[in-house]
Amino acid sequence: MKRREFSLTVASAATALSLPLAAPALAQGRQFKEGNDYVKLGKPVATEAPAGKIEVIEFFWYSCPHCNTFEPSLEAWIKSAPKDLHIRRVPVAFNASFVPQQKLYYALEGMGKLPELHAKVFRAVHVERLPLNKDELIFDWIGKQGVDVAKFKEVYNSFTVSNQVRKASQLQDGYQVEGVPSMGVAGRYYTDGTMAGNMQSVLQVVEHLVGVARKG
């Protein structure tokens, strides 16, 4: 989803959710090209990958229907990814209304709740039609998940989460993210579904770029 597409109606969002990801075979044998399937950043951005690992980032937004559709494929890819990859998700904010969901993500991460609740956030937004885009809506939903709301609020409003949100925005700007879902590799490369053709191809572009990064 591009910056200019955030006014999707419920009907168009539902249509987007029904679109299947392209089969992996469609991208087999392709020669991925800079400027077409991906871009090389003019100025590399700092990574958080430990020594000897290559950072791969998914930029996403919980309310994006395309991110919701992509999530199962991404999760499966992560589980089978090479051990030398440092994979992480970064929630974007194209305007101030996105910030509560950024804070939701980082608060869940800080409390160790992402493994059990990350997919449930997507389900709440896209299946149950709960916007989860304001603090009180988020707190109410969190309480229904059996999480200590007082503790969650403490983490949600903490300096740590505020700092993570700030860094996420800096990283988003560094990669010049134009839409989600999209992916960054090694602090040097960026790709998305528009460039690669579809999100399944994006994962193959990422694998190609990881190979390039391994060579230095």
Q: Would you call 31 exposed, middle or buried from its count of C-beta atoms within 10 A (0-12, 13-18, 19+)?
A: exposed
pTM listed for this prediction: 0.87
Give the three-class secondary structure for 15: helix
Residue with more model confidence, 214 or 5:
214
pLDDT at position 3 over 80: no
| Predicted confidence (pLDDT) per residue in 65-89, tens digit | 999 999 999 999 999 999 999 999 9
State the pLDDT confidence band at 146, using cuts at 50, 70 and 90.
very high
Alpha carbon 39 to its chain centroid, in Å, reads 18
